[in-house]
Amino acid sequence: MSYHRPFGTPHPLGAHLENGGANFSIFSRSATGVELLFFDHVEDVTPSRVVNFDPVIQRTYHYWHAFVPGVKAGQLYAYRMSGPFEPARGMRFDASKALLDPYGKSVVIPRGYDRAASSVFGQCVTPPMKSVVVDPGAYDWEDDVPPRRPSSRTVIYEAHVRGMTRHPSSGVEESKRGTYAGLIEKIPYLKDLGITAVELLPVFAFDAQDAPSGRRNYWGYAPVSFFAPHPAYSSDPDPLGPINEFRDLVKAMHRAGIEVILDVVYNHTAEGGVDGPTLGLRGIENAAYYILERDRSKYANYSGTGNTLYANHPVVRRMILDSLRFWVDEMHVDGFRFDLASILARDAKGSVLPNPPVLWDIESDPSLAGVKLIAEAWDAAGLYQVGSFVGDSWKEWNGHFRDDVRDFFRGVPGSVRRVADRMLGSPELYGHKEREAEQSVNFVTCHDGFTLNDLVSYNEKHNEENGEENRDGTNDNRSWNCGVEGPTDDPAIEALRHRQVKNFLSVTLLSLGVPMILMGDEMRRTQGGNNNAYCQDDETSWLDWSLLDRYGDLHRFVQLLAARRRLRDLGREHQCLSELIREADIVWHGVRCGHPDWGDESHTLAFTAEFRQQRMRVHYLMNAYREALEFDLPCAAGSVWRRWIDTSLPSPEDIVPWKEAPVFEGNRYRVEAHSVVALYSSIGEASGAEQGGAAPA
């Protein structure tokens, strides 16, 4: 903008540097007065300067604005709104509160901030959170280019910025542990593991005090801003440090060929229910930003956290779109996973819209074309839309994949047919849309629930440390402790658990769809049976890197599985496993060739995929039964079968590099109890005896 009006302009929203100062603009339909507060220090309670907005010349429609000369990047600011406090009408103005700018690009959270004090009406006695004026263009992206990796060649690693390096064993210097800078140091590890995209738990600035007394909100699902990166994840104490350090992380990830996907929370805020603090939206225009009950003094709670953002209100729709564009255009992120995305389908009364405007806005926005959009297609009020989420470009966390794969490997009757569908990209769920298999994001574990180690070690949740008498967290874990609850010294049980972990990883990484694994599952990270560790900012949640020494074989197992997602050795350098299987002829089997057992009491499944163009067959065998079983092998038609994976074998025989797979002689294969086997044959390859057992080049 090359000019300014002396009293500011309504566009753009937020704080915008221009012409030797800054334009400030904020929406509020019902406020009777607006003040812009400037602060000199993070811990200040009282502003050093107050700018009063004239409602005649500094209000255009419902937008209040001011141009302030001399403002520079790094200036701390907030708003103060006057207006009626009439909860019965949905109005909750509190002129004592300093409020965050909904469009603030950086936020500072004082050490003296007190959530409880911020919840008291008419009182401001502790230092408030403050927004920071930012110059988004003041950063050198150098030659950064987003990888734009196709979903068919994507392997997602769900990680927590703090948890990834906060543990003393991380090897990161203490000042950088738990920060964006610390995570940069783990990029070589991620690349070596075979990860192509990191999905970060929330990095929007959040209220860490939004947790039970004496605990901290660790996961970050308590946003106070939809634009600013969380300041506590920055190793730089400067108010502008978080935005620059986050960009450093994205740039470094891209140089390694790794995409950055953000877990975004557009369904609620940290302001909570009626007893929550007034931090921003509540004190700016409560009834526009939140869905209210018929009794407008109360908040609808489809998020399970006390309030629900009214995502389809025009002002909120614009804010969400502007936020997404900011993270793509200015922060270079590659995609988003939308927490409780089904809430974005609700209207002002909480009813589900058939064509939610905000979801179509996101899908059709040209700035977002090409970025990955992933929906957690459910909410906390029972709405479940997996397989039916609106739109054409959205991918979905496939909760059915998680549940059905867990059921199969713990021997639940009737799970064979379901797991077969899940392995082929869940056509039962997505076939009607005629979409690619990668609409399904396949996972067995995520941040919410047991880790993979705990899934095979606990039958029940153990959340006592959360302070809610073990009432929190889901009871539907579909886990199996293999005979003993919790840690054990029994070598037989430990071996079974280790095998089960490999089984889950095998199916996740070999099924059609986009695979996602949870941080630390490749080294059996445990949370001690806690399946809801959202408030455990301690060693319960942090990744203990010493586990890598103990479970290095599992790390190697994941490495080799991830490498096969690209199948470089099949002569088609750029074709991935899922593309090949889609083209394959598939025949299902049971323990006898051509005779799959789809019965409720079946615990076995096998199938052969023949790739005629590549002149190759792959044969998978899965035994979830408690005893070993002999499986017939299909005729190799003059070729030989080679054993790539057998999860019952000790490392390094459990999985071998593709080219080094040994020949298996025989027409039957003994699959041990609770095991997965993968064989392959090259059509026309000579027998092992004739060509010395060498694998095909």
| Cis preceding-peptide flag for 652 (omega within 30 of 0) | yes
Largest CA distance in the chain: 93
| More confident: 435 or 605 | 605
Cβ-proximal residues to 199 (8 Å cutoff; 6+ apart), any chain: 156, 157, 158, 159, 261, 262, 263, 337, 374, 516
Cβ-proximal residues to 482 (8 Å cutoff; 6+ apart), any chain: 456, 457, 493, 496, 497, 500
pLDDT at residue 694 in the model: 37
Average pLDDT over residues 326-343: 98
- Flag whether pLDDT at 466 surpasses 70: yes
As a whole number of angstroms, the distance between CA 630 and CA 668 comes to 6
Q: Give ranges for CATH 2.60.40.1180 in the chain.
A: 584-691
- Flag whether pLDDT at 370 surpasses 80: yes
Q: Which two structure tokens, joined as six digits, stand for 178?
A: 């738990």
**Quick one: pLDDT band at residue 580, thresholds 50, 70, 90?**
low
Each residue's pLDDT tens digit, 209-231: 999 988 999 999 999 999 999 99
- Flag whether pLDDT at 570 surpasses 70: no
As a whole number of angstroms, the distance between CA 186 and CA 160 comes to 12
As a whole number of angstroms, the distance between CA 318 and CA 30 comes to 19
3-state secondary structure 246-280: HHHHHHHHHHCCCEEEEEECCCCCCCCCCCCCCCC
Task: Tell me if residue 604 falls in helix, strand or coil.
Answer: strand
- Please give the backbone phi and psi of residue 76, each rounded to the nearest 5 degrees, phi first: -85, 135
**Quick one: pLDDT band at residue 483, thresholds 50, 70, 90?**
very high
**Quick one: pLDDT band at residue 571, thresholds 50, 70, 90?**
very low
CATH superfamily, domain at 584-691: Golgi alpha-mannosidase II (2.60.40.1180)
Report which secondary-structure segment, H or E, holds 245.
Answer: helix 241-255
Sheet with 76-82, strands from edge to edge, namely 49-52, 33-39, 76-82, 130-132, 107-108
pLDDT at residue 584 in the model: 76
Of 102-116, 500-514, 554-568, 576-590, the range with the lowest mean pLDDT is: 576-590
Return the C-alpha torsion angle 466, 471, 473, 476, nearest 10: 150
Query: What integer best gives the mean pLDDT of the chain?
Result: 94
pLDDT at residue 567 in the model: 52
Average pLDDT over residues 54-78: 97
**Quick one: pLDDT band at residue 583, thresholds 50, 70, 90?**
confident
pLDDT at residue 4 in the model: 57
Q: Where are the beta strands (DSSP E) in 308-428?
A: 335-338, 372-375, 395-397
**Quick one: pLDDT band at residue 435, thresholds 50, 70, 90?**
confident
- Flag whether pLDDT at 503 surpasses 80: yes
**Quick one: pLDDT band at residue 585, thresholds 50, 70, 90?**
confident
Cβ-proximal residues to 426 (8 Å cutoff; 6+ apart), any chain: 387, 398, 400, 401, 437, 440, 513
Q: Give yes or no for a contact between 632 and 668, defined as CB atoms under 8 angstroms apart.
A: yes
- Flag whether pLDDT at 526 surpasses 60: yes
As a whole number of angstroms, the distance between CA 677 and CA 669 comes to 9
Q: Give yes or no for a contact between 203 and 179, defined as CB atoms under 8 angstroms apart.
A: no
pLDDT at residue 126 in the model: 95
- Flag whether pLDDT at 473 surpasses 60: yes
Residues paired with residue 352 on neighbouring β-strands, in sequence order: 346
pLDDT at residue 265 in the model: 98
pLDDT at residue 582 in the model: 65
pLDDT at residue 2 in the model: 41
pLDDT at residue 238 in the model: 97
CATH 2.60.40.10 fits 14-132, yes or no: yes
As a whole number of angstroms, the distance between CA 532 and CA 332 comes to 31
Average pLDDT over residues 370-393: 94
Each residue's pLDDT tens digit, 282-321: 999 999 999 999 999 999 999 999 999 999 999 999 999 9
Average pLDDT over residues 460-480: 96
- Flag whether pLDDT at 7 surpasses 50: yes
Q: Give ranges for CATH 2.60.40.10 in the chain.
A: 14-132
CATH class held by domain 153-163+190-545: alpha beta
pLDDT at residue 687 in the model: 52
Which region holds residue 643: left if phi is over 0, alpha if psi is between -120 and 50, else beta? beta
- Tokens 């290095």 correspond to 552
What pTM did the predictor assign? 0.95
- Tokens 């950063």 correspond to 139
Cβ-proximal residues to 439 (8 Å cutoff; 6+ apart), any chain: 394, 395, 396, 425, 430, 433, 513
Average pLDDT over residues 488-493: 98
Q: Which residues are catalytic?
A: 339, 376
Q: Give yes or no for a contact between 284 and 99, defined as CB atoms under 8 angstroms apart.
A: yes
Tell me the residue type at 403: D
Percent of the chain whose predicted confidence (pLDDT) is above 90: 88
As a whole number of angstroms, the distance between CA 144 and CA 166 comes to 28
- Tokens 């070596």 correspond to 192
As a whole number of angstroms, the distance between CA 282 and CA 268 comes to 12
Q: Give yes or no for a contact between 223 and 204, defined as CB atoms under 8 angstroms apart.
A: yes
**Quick one: pLDDT band at residue 692, thresholds 50, 70, 90?**
very low
Report which secondary-structure segment, H or E, holds 454.
Answer: helix 452-455
